[in-house]
Structure formats: C-alpha cells, structure tokens
Chains A and B, each alone.
Chain A
C-alpha cells in the first residue's frame, strides 16, 4: 500500500482512539454536571421527578443516563461534526472554539518558531565553540535550570515577579484596553507586547530540549569525514557551518517539531489561564471547573486533531526535506 496513505490511515485510527478515550475519561470522572445540577435542585426542595426533567431540559441529558450511553452519544456527535451547545454559555461549542482558536494558533506558532530558531542557534553554538569551556559551561547550566522547571511554575514565578511585583512587562490580558482590535499596527504591537512574558515562559522552557538535541547532533557531525573533506577543499567556514553542520544537524530531528508543538499546545492550558489570555487553553481551563462536557470534549477534539495533524505533517514532509529519508521508500 502507498506509504503516505498508510500513514494517514494510521493517524486517523490514532485520532479516533485518542478522542474516544478522552471522552470516556471525561464522562467517567467525578463531577457529572447533571448530577451537580440535580443535587442543587433537590436541595431547593424541588421534587425528584420534576428536578430530573428540569436538568434534562437544561443540559440535554438525564442524570440517570448510563456512562456508556453518554460516551456513545458524544462520540457520535464528534464524528458527525456536531459538538453541541455549551452548558455554561448556552452558545454553540463550535462558535466558542472558533473565537478561541486564532489566539492559540498565534501563541503556539509564535513560541514554536522562536523555540526552534533559538534552540538551533544555541545548540550549534554549543557544538561549534566547544573548546570555549566557559561559554559551554555557563550556557549549559542556564539551559539545565530551565529544562528542569515545568512551564507552569515558571509562568507563576514570572507572573508574580516580572509582572505583578516589578511591573516590567504586561502580565494580564492579550492587549491593552486603549487599542481597537483589528488589522491595525497599534493592536498588533500591543498583542506582541502583551504576549512577551507568556512567550518567554514557553520558549525558555522548551529551548533546552532543542539546544541539547542539536548540540549532540552537531558534535557528532563535526567528526564526520565530510567536514574534514570540506575543509580540505577550502570551503569557507560559513559554508561549513550552515550547509554542512547546521543542515545535517537539524534534519534528523526535524520530526521533533511535532513533539515540541504538542508540548506547547498542552502548555497553553496553564499559560493562557495564568496570564488571562483568550484561547483554547483558557477555554478548557474555565469550562473544566464547571464540567461543561460539550466544550471540554470540543477542545480536546481540537487539540488531539492538531497534535495528530502535526505529527502526520512532519512525517509526510520529512522525505522532501531530508534526502536520506527518501531512499527505501517509494
């Protein structure tokens, strides 16, 4: 069978499995919104039968509905493209998500590009200037520190110190109140400025993985025969640095972009809530508290779709990017 088609089918299967398991976990975990609402009504002295009917009317399902039935119902909804209506906001889930998605796409792609570019540059520098022990040691120490801090802790620290206490950078909201959202320069500048701190958290915590990975690759590449031979031919060091060392170091870990992407996506759940930013992450965080099933499921489905597509994309494009991966596959 065609290799790309096989990959695509595999991705679809993985997507379906992940979606079904997520929905299963959501409906099985404690805090069924129907039960909570029912308890509320009962405490107000409403008779049981009437309370159940009220819940049914309000939420769309009965507190007595068994878990497997809920599971199948939501799964069917997802597969048929009907995400339902939010319990808390009373508006279609699709609309909530559509409002949130652009913010998260911006936040994640901005952080991802900075992470990859800076990570590669630092990694190459570490390998290339390996004889400068002071440089290597200090950079490695800093990277190791950031590598060991989870991004939500760094987010809290930056929020409190750089934001609240020292007021060095904006730390709440996506833009300042005096700009009008739209395609104008003030708005874009304000957004970039307000995202500086959250992006720093994202990038600082994900750079070390890239820098260490690239530097390990580059150190190995530096010992390759083709480097010595390039020098023997008199190629300028800039050519050797970019076309020989960097190019050959990035390509094998190109697929890691998908992994970093996933991490950053997961990171938005904490960071968007911490810094009061709009987006899928904060949508998930707020609706999880209220056990707003349709929204939670909707956000999960979007996140899973993004992760699976990201992995599929890097898999499929890898062959075009690295000639070494092309051989053997036809």
Chain B
C-alpha cells in the first residue's frame, strides 16, 4: 500500500475571485480509502470537482496547481491534459464518482437503463457488453436488475438511487472512485447496508476510494487515512487510528467531541462560532476566532504543516517550534 494513485499538489480553487480551496496537498495510495472530512462548505466537493473536471465556469484553478494521476509509468497532470484526452482516457475509465445529492442526480425523465446505455455510448462501450455489465453491477449492489433497469428515478427510494449511482460509477471499471457523501440523506439502516456494500465492492473490484463525508461513523468504519479540512485547508492528516484516538488539531478535537457526545444523551457539544466567510477570512490561523487555545501568533501568522509523529501532520501553532 505504498504506490501512489493520485497526488494533489498545491491545489488552489476560487469562485469568481473568492479563494475557497487553498494550498491542498495529499496523496491517495492504491487500494486505500482516503477520507476528506469537514464541515459543510469547507470545500470538499470543490476538491472532488477539480479532480473530475466538473467545476462550473465561474470557478478558477491556479495555474501552478497539479493533480497527478499515476496510471502509466509517468504521472499525468489531469489539470493540464486536453479535454478530449481527459474524456477518452480518464473520465469514468480511470476515475468515476458517486455524486453528492444522490436523490437529484438522475434524469427524472429517462429510465435507469438509459442512464447506463448513454454512459456506455459516451465511452464507446459495446451495447450488449454494457447491458451485461450493468446487469452484473446492479446485482453487485443488491438490486434486482430486471426490475430496476426499467424504472424511472422517481419510482425508486433514496437507497436504491444511491445503489444505482454506485453501479453506474463502476460501469467502465475505474480504479479510483470518488464517493461524495454516499450515506447522507439515507436512513440509518440503509446507511449501514451501503457501507457494508462499499467494503465488498472495494475488495471485489480492487478499487481505491476517495471518501468525502461528515459522517464520522462512516469514516471510522471504512477509511484508512483521513484529512481534516477547515476553510479549504487541510489542518490535520493521518491514519484513521491517530485521528480518532490521538487527534491533535483543536478543530479535529472539537469535531470529534461534537459527534461522540451524542451517545451519552447530552446536548452535543458543538464548536462555538460559525463557519468562516471566505470573502473575509481572518489573518493567521483561519480557525483562531473559534479556537479555545488561540495565541497571539495564531492571529498573525498561518501555522506551518508539521509532522508531529510518523505520518501524522498538523497545521497548528501548538505543535510548531517558533
């Protein structure tokens, strides 16, 4: 588990002139599940859309940002390849995604079968072959292909739609699957089933996952490594054990507390303060207005990203030598 599949380097994304994602670095290794965790609006989907190249026109990626994909001997910068090449060689063939908003991601006026066939046609997959593949995948996500293929999206429950989206993502045997909030908007029982299924699929098809979620339980269950994101920046990154049993960053600690207290029938402790406004981010550490440990230097200078123990990185002045 040391071969890199995807390397994001210095990713900076703005909407209009507001920078939303700043200076993001991370590697995803073959076969692992890498999780991006953070509050709503922290930029998780923006990172995913940068990789899939589906950002809206108003979005802008800085020229020196890189997203390296290690399929062939030499890594390819996905941000630099021409659109047709990306479409032919990478989109859905190498990297596919299960979008956030499962309930709304299927065309309400065409059948499920049409969704599979149009995707196949867009990638020059033979019709018969595509239908067989769709059939197998629907079985793999525990749906009845015969019935589901002829349904319209509105005739399906949220859980069924989510399963269809997962099956659709695997149509062209991708290596990397981006899962954007795969369990939100589903009831607890369905969440559980999807989670088990994701684990099965990963083993069966040799997939690598990039998981986006604020569902801490899901992350704890299936992630290998976790990046905690605050205001478009990675503030802590490590393996899942370190993040849950030995969190370092005050934001990570707050995030975990907010969730874990739920089990004890107490008011969940939320992190005081509100999510930042990207148009007027504070100077220094972006978390300082909400941080109980904020010091002088936190208000002036952005903390460096440092390795506090092996493979455990934190961006916080508490751990930095000044």
Contacts and interface: CB of A to CB of B under 8 A. Distances in A.
B39 to A, nearest CB: 21
B148 to A, nearest CB: 14
Contacts of A224: 104
A226 B106 CA distance: 5
A234 B87 contact: yes
A75 B155 CA distance: 47
A251 interface: yes
B26 interface: no
Interface string A14-34: 000000000000000000000
B118 A239 contact: yes
Contact of B155 (A131, A234, A327): A327
Interface stretch (A36-44, A136-144, A167-175, A242-250): A242-250
B81 to A, nearest CB: 14
Pairs A-B, 9 closest by C-beta atoms = A323-B152, A225-B104, A225-B101, A229-B105, A234-B91, A225-B105, A232-B54, A229-B99, A234-B122
Contact of A236 (B104, B108, B122): B122
B116 to A, nearest CB: 10
A238 to B, nearest CB: 11
Nearest to B55: A228
Interface of B: 52, 54, 57, 87, 91-92, 96-97, 99-101, 104-110, 114, 118-119, 122-123, 152, 154-155, 168
B252 to A, nearest CB: 30
Contacts of A226: 104-108
9 contacts: A225-B99, A226-B107, A228-B54, A228-B105, A229-B105, A232-B99, A233-B96, A234-B122, A247-B109
B54 to A, nearest CB: 5
Interface string A205-234: 000000000000000000011101111111
B109 A248 contact: yes
Given A232-B99, A327-B154, A239 B104 contact: no
Interface of A is mostly: helix
A224 B56 CA distance: 12
User: How many A residues touch the partner, as a band?
Assistant: 20 to 34
A251 B109 contact: yes
Contacts of B52: 232
A40 B16 CA distance: 80
Given A228-B54, A229-B106, A324-B109, 4 more contacts: A231-B54, A233-B168, A247-B110, A327-B155
A324 B154 contact: yes
A243 B54 contact: no
B107 A239 contact: no
Nearest to A239: B118
A324 B108 contact: yes
B133 to A, nearest CB: 14
Contact of A234 (B92, B110, B154): B92
A330 to B, nearest CB: 13
Contacts of B97: 232
A233 B90 CA distance: 11
Contacts of A323: 108-109, 152, 154-155
B108 A248 contact: yes
Nearest to B151: A323
Given A226-B104, A228-B99, A327-B155, A235 B110 contact: no
Given A224-B104, A234-B91, A234-B122, A131 B54 contact: no
Given A236-B122, A327-B155, A243 B107 contact: yes
Contacts of A230: 107
B118 A235 contact: yes
A248 B123 CA distance: 24
Contacts of B101: 225
A315 interface: no
Given A225-B104, A228-B54, A233 B109 contact: no
Nearest to B108: A324
Contacts of A251: 109
Contacts of B104: 224-226
B184 to A, nearest CB: 13
Interface in A277-330: 322-324, 326-327
A296 to B, nearest CB: 44
Contacts of A324: 108-109, 152, 154
A165 B276 CA distance: 68
Nearest to A327: B154
Contacts of B107: 226, 230, 243-244, 247-248
B246 to A, nearest CB: 36
A141 B225 CA distance: 56
Nearest to A235: B122
B92 A233 contact: yes
A97 B99 CA distance: 59
Contacts of A326: 152, 154
A136 B109 CA distance: 28
Contacts of B122: 233-236, 239
Q: Which of A226, A232, A236, A248 has the most CB of B within 10 A?
A: A232
A202 B133 CA distance: 51
Most-contacted residue by chain A among B52, B105, B114, B152 (CB, 10 A): B105
B107 to A, nearest CB: 5
A239 B106 CA distance: 14
B108 A131 contact: no
A254 to B, nearest CB: 11
Contact of A131 (B57, B100, B110): B57
- A231, A233, A323: which has the most chain B beta carbons within 10 Å? A233
Q: Which of B96, B97, B104 has the most CB of A within 10 A?
A: B104
